[in-house]
Structure 1
Amino acid sequence: MAASIPHYEISVDTTKIQDGAREIIKRVKPAWDIHSLTFKLFTEGITNALVGGYQPDNKDDMVLVRIYGEKTELIIDRQAEKDTFILLSGAGCSPPLYCTFTNGMAYGFVKGVPLDEKMVKDANIRTLIAKEIAKLHSLKKSDQGTSNPVPYIFTKIQNFINLAPDSFPEQERQKIFEGELQSKAAIQEEFNMLKGHLEALTCDVVFSHNDLLLQNIVFDSQSNKVGFIDYEYGFYNLQAFDIGNHFNEYAGVDEVDYSRFPDRDYQLSWIRIYLEEYYSLIGRQSTVSDTDVERLYVQVNKCALGSHFFWGVWALIQAQNSKIDFDFLAYSVTRFKEYFRRRDAFLSLKEPLI
């Protein structure tokens, strides 16, 4: 199936993004009048450049052309991303992947609007999200068959730490790095401790999105559905990581406010909806018990720490390599500050006995 997705040896220049997108779109939509295309530039992402092209009379039939960020191949497996896109498209969880090209890919449009901090807590929308995550977690990649998959999160974070800079050449940034994060060695030591706690969790390992920030969730009010976009970080992971990461993202990106992180009562209600859907999809006959909900609650909050760590180290790599106008070092500091603020309370939580 992967072989049927065409690849073009075309490199799109981000300074001439519409010209490059037009070259891609005329290959995947040969029946379109390529000269009458309307373009929309998306600015929400902090990893890649993204532009959409469509015919003036049908905005919903848009081709999205994504140009990979500078040196993102260091942290993202593009072949794995392609395979994930194909898996999710086949399961009805994503739009079609049209093609890949030298420095990006083109794919279909998910109709709707990206969520904001208010929408994500709407009772209807949060129920749709819980059920859609459960659907994603019930999928199996063909290369895994019936074997027991292993979580890739620990390998991924270690790879990130290995790639992270030891220092910054600018005096001001180096002062921030040392003052807030101490050193790369200190980050490694902290990860070794956290890894032990997360490996001890009695948690399902499922195929996960791993990046369910608000802008990656689209709500269509006409169909009353949510869809997920951007699968760059899709891999097998601890079930609770996707949920803990999603709860962290209630804080937003541009103006981060972790007071929006869901409280215990909210989480327990959300988790029960998720588990009822998940059990149904995987054929588990037992009903969802209070103990099941409490166990996943503990796992989710511990994995929320793993999420902060993951994106904190990721941002250090971006701070060194990305050309996108975003203060990645400040974002890394923000994630690690929240990690340390929550660490002791979350690590002290105990999974209920079976």
Structure 2
Amino acid sequence: MAPVISPVISPNLTNISRQHSSASGKSLTELLIGATGSSSSVQLADGPVEPVKAEGLRHARIRLEARHYKKPDFVHQFLEVASLLQIPSWNDPRIRPENVTIQRVSGALTNAVYFVSCTSSSKIPTLLLRIYGPSSGALISRPRELHILHKLSSVYRLGPRVYGTFENGRIEEFFDSTTLTAEDIRDSTISRWIGARMAQFHSVDIAEVSPPSDITGDGVIEASVKKCVSSWLTYAYETFALPAMPREVCQEIDLSRFEKEWKIYLQWVSKVEDMHSGSGVVFGHNDTQYGNLLRLTNSLETDEHRQIIVVDFEYAGPNPAAYDIANHFHEWSANYHGSTPHLLDPACYPTFTQRRNFYTAYIQHSNLLVKGAEDPVFDASDLDQLVAALDYQVRVWSPASHAMWAIWGIVQARDDVENSVAEPEFDYIGYAKGRMASFRQEILDLGVIQR
């Protein structure tokens, strides 16, 4: 997908002093409500933001204004939230506002991420503060993301812990870590760690982690890539209908043609997918690009692969295991910090040797492909068969990754098109064109359609 600046990294925090301000006149009862309690919508400068809550998480009825993070009142309000949510070490009344530093590290002012630290004690952990901005909800659902994040961390100890929510955001665990780079994920050792970590995610109970909406009344779990493409197409057509959208772009991508190709492709997949070799639906992250993968700085984990932390679960949900792996392999071709961040470089796609290295670690830690003890030992023949079968299923689902992100790119381009941005920060249309071309080339190579 398009680049994101990972917020959960070890920062060089700048000391920004905050002065004490007057206390709020609201009572504790008014401010602290249960996760299922009701609350009216709140307003930021650019539009409404509904409170997002999850069962089992404390919620504070306080709103933090993203644009005011440099003002004295902001740090005092943050300390109120931290106290109400009973965040370990931060609910100490002895913490003074002037000892709190706040650094904005990513996002727009109305959809921002901050590191919050206390300079008076090294024992008080740094926190990650996330303030939501207005969103159409066309691409992601914050309630869904919060539910998944909370379940993963509380039940499986995967991903950052969520300490609680407030009216327009949440506070999360901070990891002393570094974000992986485009070069890092190509390292053979790190790639094995990622494979092992992905296998652990794929082994969680979907019913435990996913929202009830992911599971139909008859217990059927539909792949989220199918749901996303179907629902996002509506918004893609709306983007293409904008007067400022270049007609040549619409003609090149040709959404009507894509819909027909997508239907033919899914019919083909239904005939070749193997539920025992990678096409079984699992809980997938679905966006394991290098910017969403962290490496702990001072890891004490005995299992080396556990020093890899996966963050940002906006697109997480049920998908074939092979789809999630295929999507990760496509991210090998991306360099979001290069001169052409919107283009994938096919020459960087992992070779079979590199894929086999990943598969071996994945298979050894998978509860789906291998039953029994962790780190099982295979003879060469058995392992080769498992690798070959998985690699084919990854190839089967590879076009789906291109398709989903192509439609995503079109939807993301809407703001730039509407505002006639001549030089957008990221070329979403160029990205969509590239991914769509790759989708069509791959279904041709697979024999799904004839030239």
User: Could you give the per-residue CA deviations for residues 187-226 of structure 1, whole angstroms, max 9, x where no partner exists?
Assistant: 3222212222333411111111111111100012532510
Q: Is the 8 A contact 1:214 1:252 kept in 2?
A: no
Question: 2:115 is paired with a residue of what secondary structure?
Answer: strand
| Residue 243 (structure 1) aligns with | 325
Matched, 1:76 2:140: yes
Q: CA deviation at 1:114?
A: 0.9
RMSD: 3.1
TM-score scaled by structure 2?
0.67
- Residue 281 (structure 2) pairs with residue 205 (structure 1): yes
* Alpha-carbon distance between aligned partners in 1 of 2:124 and 2:248, rounded to the nearest angstrom: 45
Task: Determine if contact 1:244/1:307 at 8 Å carries over to the other structure.
Answer: yes
Q: Does 1:99 align with 2:172?
A: no
| Structure 2 CA distance for partners of 1:302 and 1:60, relative to 1, 3 Å | farther
* CA deviation map 1:302-336 (0-9, x unaligned): 32221111111112112114799433222222322
2:81 maps to 1:27:
yes
Structure 1 partner of 2:290 = 214
Q: Contact (CA 8 Å) 1:137, 1:206: kept in 2 or not?
A: yes
Q: Structure 2 CA distance, aligned partners of 1:246 and 1:103?
A: 31
1:207 aligned counterpart, secondary structure:
strand
The residue number in structure 1 matching 2:335 is: 252
Letter in 2 for 1:51: Y
Distance 1:308 1:94 in 2: 26
**Structure 2 residue aligned with 1:153:** 225
Deviations 1:276-326 (A, max 9, x none): 110489735795532221121112123222111111111211211479943
Counterpart selection for 2:115 from 40, 48, 52: 52
Q: Distance in 1 between matches of 2:386 and 2:243?
A: 50
Mapped partners of 2:63, 2:427: distance in 1: 27
Larger mean Cα displacement after TM superposition, 28-37 or 259-268: 28-37
Distance 2:62 2:370 in 1: 42
Distance 1:124 1:58 in 2: 33
Aligned to 2:308: 226
> Partner of 1:120 in structure 2?
185
Q: Relative to total residues, which structure has the larger helix share, 1 or 2? A: 1
1:163 aligns with 2:235: yes
Task: Confirm or deny: 8 A CA contact 2:402 2:438 kept in the other structure.
Answer: yes
**Aligned partner of residue 74 in structure 1, secondary structure:** coil
Given that 2:62 and 2:81 are in contact with CA atoms closer than 8 Å, whether structure 1 keeps it comes out as no
User: Aligned partners of 1:65, 1:325: CA distance in 2, in Å?
Assistant: 24
Decide whether the 8 Å contact of 1:164 with 1:316 is kept in 2: yes
State how far apart, in whole Å, the 1-side matches of 2:129 and 2:243 are.
34
Give the CA deviation at 1:123.
2.0
Matched, 1:138 2:203: yes
Q: Corresponding residue for 1:289?
A: 383
Q: Distance in 2 between matches of 1:174 and 1:60?
A: 53
Could you tell me which runs of 5 or more consecutive residues in structure 1 were left unpaired when the two chains were aligned: 349-354
- Bigger drift between 280-289 and 211-220 goes to 280-289
**For residue 437 of structure 2, what is the amino acid of its counterpart?**
K
Is 1:194 aligned to residue 265 of structure 2? yes
d(CA) in 1 for partners of 2:404, 2:198: 20
1:300 — aligned with what?
394
Query: Structure 1 residue 16 and structure 2 residue 16: aligned?
Result: no
Distance (whole Å) between structure 1 residues aligned to residue 164 and residue 193 of structure 2: 29
The answer to whether the Cα contact below 8 Å between 2:232 and 2:408 also exists between their aligned partners in 1 is yes
Corresponding letter in the other structure for 1:33: R
